[in-house]
Amino acid sequence: MYKTILDYVRRNQLFDRGDRVIVALSGGADSVCLLVVLNEMKQEFDLALKAVHVHHGLRGEEADRDSNYAGELSEKLGVPFSCVYVDAAGYAKERGMSVEEAGRHLRYEIFEEERQRFEGTKIAVAHHGDDQAETILYNLFRGTGLKGLGGMRPLRGNIVRPLLCVGREDILAYLREKGISYCEDSTNSGIEYARNRIRRVIIPQVKEQLNARAGENIVHAGMMAAKADAYLEKQAGSLLKKHGVWKKEESGSVFQCGIGTEILLAEDDIIRTYVIRQMINNVNQSMKDITMIHVESAAALLFGPADRQIDLPGGLIAARTGKEMWIKKKNVEDLVDNHLDVCLPNVDFSVFSYKKGMEIPKNGYTKWFDYDKIKCALSVRYRETGDYMTLAGGGRKTLKSYLIDAKVPREERGKIPLVAEGSHVLWVIGYRISEYYKITDDTHTVIQMQLDGGKVNG
Amino acid sequence: MYKTILDYVRRNQLFDRGDRVIVALSGGADSVCLLVVLNEMKQEFDLALKAVHVHHGLRGEEADRDSNYAGELSEKLGVPFSCVYVDAAGYAKERGMSVEEAGRHLRYEIFEEERQRFEGTKIAVAHHGDDQAETILYNLFRGTGLKGLGGMRPLRGNIVRPLLCVGREDILAYLREKGISYCEDSTNSGIEYARNRIRRVIIPQVKEQLNARAGENIVHAGMMAAKADAYLEKQAGSLLKKHGVWKKEESGSVFQCGIGTEILLAEDDIIRTYVIRQMINNVNQSMKDITMIHVESAAALLFGPADRQIDLPGGLIAARTGKEMWIKKKNVEDLVDNHLDVCLPNVDFSVFSYKKGMEIPKNGYTKWFDYDKIKCALSVRYRETGDYMTLAGGGRKTLKSYLIDAKVPREERGKIPLVAEGSHVLWVIGYRISEYYKITDDTHTVIQMQLDGGKVNG
């Protein structure tokens, strides 16, 4: 077991000599195993370890027991230890997210803070092979490409996952053999409904009825997808480096990135989408809210007539001119009557199954829509000529007349951000949503849009 | 719907103008839809169609009803029609395969025969998106790489699958709308247990509980995997073309294919495995029985000391010399005392879950083994020095003494094919299997090995 992990760490170059590592320690079997293994591996890579336990302020005495155990174990192993208290429930309420999500956000925030305080180079977390199989199926069912099929990566940024190569059973057997105890988590509070279904129902069923090695097989296929993904990124990167053109602001930040259409057209379909993704990332510094539909819509511009453009999330457009394909920041001046002080809010999208009786959020910053009614790429933007909404009876109303009726002063109208599918407006942010996309009894799938800061009118 | 399929046919270049197409017509909804749609598409590509129905000699009157309906529909559409009678049950018994498997073999054989008789260029089959999602999960659970994740390809050889872009629901709605009837299949006899579980239990559960669009999402991820796979094949192919060395027999057939280790080492891991696969295919003209474990074991030779080799299925070896990596046909002379007239049989491997009470085949050509006990690559080969088997008590016996005890004449001993994991013999073909690998109550997963022709002693 130790040997398997050591091999995996070496093969994936998870540690450099002298790394200073924050070890996330909940006190459960997985993280206890992680700490014990890394402590054993210390000499090998000359590591300095620090264990960090996050107390979520939930689960009363049980949580206290966990943090006590985490402290004791660290002391026994001679590893420095911190326990950090957070109010996950309060944070969740404040941000309008689930407690699980809040817990995850807070943990990674704290591990990062502790890393900086420790002058650390890495953060080690205890995800194992079973978690990986679950993640891969979760992504597959909810929609993904090779990236999601690849599951969690052993090394991403400064996060390392040395236990991905072993299963939960291996971990329990290892601890049993070494006579090391751990805390049982009495709830499944840490994970959301869909993951829980996959972990406790789907995977056991598949293992029992279809293939006992299904877990390992999923992880192995995921590894191939991750390798293919990394290779495609590399190929796309060298193509872009060789043929790309960047335009920068005075500050040095890229606002436009382009490449010859002929160059893209000579490549395979899949390389084109990887290049476009990298172009978006170059301009946006983030792939937030960019889905495959967006990338594929942008790639589709290559095949039609020239001089067309589409909106992308994050205030970007993909434009095809005569001989070039560009990803650029939307020129706010052109679109919203010189209101340069207005900035588009970030909108988080998430998609999940709708079950009757689910409570639709009733607040100004979280909206639900019927995902199956959306056929094209969505954009977050300001109003444009031709924008319309659907009324309760099914008729259309231009956005302009809606805004007039809503008594929005003319000079404010161009500043209101909205989410639209083509000219069909789903959500006038701060105002209302279109009847057409509303959740009904026939809704199968919800797309939730959630405002994440930004400047909102109304 | 028609438009969706037409787009898909164009985008994947499924038809060339003037193609002559055999349409597989069972009489069920999927194949009825396929025939109707292709008949509508006839002008577009100047297609000549012929419908072929295979009557399996099973299911009595119902099967007659199906073939009658298939004939009537073809006549109504003005498409020439053949019905071919086969004895699937007899064929299954004769070959020791399941009736489903026999049916599938026979159908493809007949479609190919009919294609040649028709001077046809393509064979169209009615697999749709739901079948594709099922295939992808089936492969994922049983172990696969990008190829299996990619599912069925729209065009492979002369087989085309124009309906992969639509779901079963779309097909039923289309037929309803057009007022076209079809035969209901009263049994699930056409598909095996594992596929049936995925189709009727797992996918509906995932759609209902996790994501209503899971089917489409799986198909989409599969498409990305298929594209990545095609790109990697292309990259590996150009590398091999540029740097590969082939040795041919007088007949022109390749018996050895090599490439510089430095060339391979300079490439990404995933490209190395694709190159090795292609080298195997070059020498073997087939990837039968070659699993990822074999390819990865061959790739692993690159990293250790020189002058090592491993066995691969199909009588191949992967060898690493000082500066080269070779895939070559095993030199039978070296190994089996000049019995050049002996040829190794083909052994089919398949892996599935074991459930207590399953009946273990009791014949000389199908054997079951406990898959979880196998840790390294298997090889089908003749005996070598050091070969041994495990006895009932757990002790070892050399293969030599086993063969002496079994009264096999010395001159015959080198001619007996066997399946081995390293020096540990699982199956002396025609004789017995090793106790060590036998199915027990603790077995989770079975690997079935089935003899497929070839020359067998004993």
Per-residue pLDDT reduced to its tens digit, B10-35: 989 999 999 999 999 999 999 999 99
B152 and B280 inside one domain = no
Give the chain B residue whose CA is nearest to the CA of A208: B353
B141 and A227 within 8 Å at the Cβ level: the answer is no
Residue-number span of the structural domain to which A419 is assigned: 346-452
Alpha carbon of B226: minimum distance to chain A alpha carbons (Å): 10
Measure the CA angle with vertex A222, ends A220 and A225; round to 5°.
120
What is the pLDDT confidence band of residue A187, given thresholds at 50, 70 and 90? low
State the CB neighbour count (10 A cutoff) for residue A429. 24
Instruction: State how many domains chain B has.
Output: 3
Distances (CA, A) of A249 to A254, A255, A257: 6, 7, 12
A217 and B140 within 8 Å at the Cβ level: the answer is yes
Q: What CATH number should be reported for the domain holding residue A258?
A: 3.30.465.60
B377 and B282 inside one domain = no
Give the chain B residue whose CA is nearest to the CA of A372: B213
B146 and A228 within 8 Å at the Cβ level: the answer is yes
The last residue of a domain, from among A269, A295, A330: A330
What is the rounded CA–CA span in Å between residue A454 and residue B172? 47
Question: Containing H/E element for B399?
Answer: helix B399-405
B207 within some domain: no
B205 and A209 within 8 Å at the Cβ level: the answer is no
A164 and A23 inside one domain = yes
Q: What CATH number should be reported for the domain holding residue A20?
A: 3.40.50.620
B227 and A198 within 8 Å at the Cβ level: the answer is no
Residue type (1 letter), A101: E
B143 and A221 within 8 Å at the Cβ level: the answer is yes
A253 and A315 inside one domain = yes
Which chain A residues contact residue B202 at CB under 8 A? 202, 205-206
Q: What CATH number should be reported for the domain holding residue A411?
A: 3.50.40.10
Q: What is the ipTM of this complex?
A: 0.72
Which chain B residues contact residue A354 at CB under 8 A? 212
What is the rounded CA–CA span in Å between residue B412 and residue B341? 12
A117 within some domain: yes
What is the rounded CA–CA span in Å between residue B402 and residue B398? 6
**Mean pLDDT to the nearest integer, A120-129:** 96
What is the rounded CA–CA span in Å between residue B393 and residue B369? 18
Given a cut of 80, whether residue A333 has pLDDT beyond it is no
Alpha carbon of B221: minimum distance to chain A alpha carbons (Å): 5
Token digits for B177? 């709308």
CA-wise closest residue to B167 among B124, B202, B130, B198: B130
Given a cut of 60, whether residue A258 has pLDDT beyond it is yes
Show Cβ contacts of residue A259 under 8 Å, excluding neighbours closer than 6 positions.
A239, A240, A243, A244, A245, A275, A279, A324, A325
Exposed (0-12), middle (13-18) or buried (19+): which is B233, by Cβ within 10 Å? Answer: middle
B6 and B119 inside one domain = yes
- What is the SS3 assignment for B334? helix
B341 within some domain: no
A458 within some domain: no
Nearest beta carbon to residue B213 from set A268, A292, A445:
A445
Given a cut of 50, whether residue B176 has pLDDT beyond it is yes
Measure the CA angle with vertex B379, ends B373 and B381; round to 5°.
135
B212 and A270 within 8 Å at the Cβ level: the answer is no
B353 and B393 inside one domain = yes
A239 within some domain: no
Per-residue pLDDT reduced to its tens digit, B231-254: 999 999 999 999 999 888 878 788
- List, as residue ranges, the binding site of A: 26-31
B227 within some domain: no
A312 and A421 inside one domain = no
Q: At what angle do helices B214-243 and A269-284 cross, to 10 degrees?
A: 110
B221 and A269 within 8 Å at the Cβ level: the answer is no
Q: Which of B141, B232, B291 to probe by mutation at the A interface, max A CB count within 10 Å?
A: B141
B321 and B360 inside one domain = no
What is the rounded CA–CA span in Å between residue A386 and residue B178? 36
Distances (CA, A) of B414 to B384, B400, B405, B422, B448: 9, 10, 15, 17, 24
State the CB neighbour count (10 A cutoff) for residue A221. 28
> What does DSSP assign to residue A199?
I
A398 and A323 inside one domain = no
Question: Containing H/E element for B324?
Answer: strand B324-329
What is the pLDDT confidence band of residue B191, given thresholds at 50, 70 and 90? low
A311 and A358 inside one domain = no
Alpha carbon of A168: minimum distance to chain B alpha carbons (Å): 17
Token digits for A264? 């893209």
Mean pLDDT of chain B: 86
**Mean pLDDT to the nearest integer, A347-358:** 77
Given a cut of 50, whether residue A453 has pLDDT beyond it is no
A311 and A356 inside one domain = no
B402 within some domain: yes
Per-residue pLDDT reduced to its tens digit, A21-35: 999 999 999 999 999
**Residue B27 counted as an annotated binding residue:** yes
A223 and A248 inside one domain = no
Nearest beta carbon to residue B353 from set A212, A229, A292:
A212
B361 within some domain: yes
Which chain A residues contact residue B212 at CB under 8 A? 353-354, 372, 444-445
Pairing of β A81-85 and β B308-312: unpaired
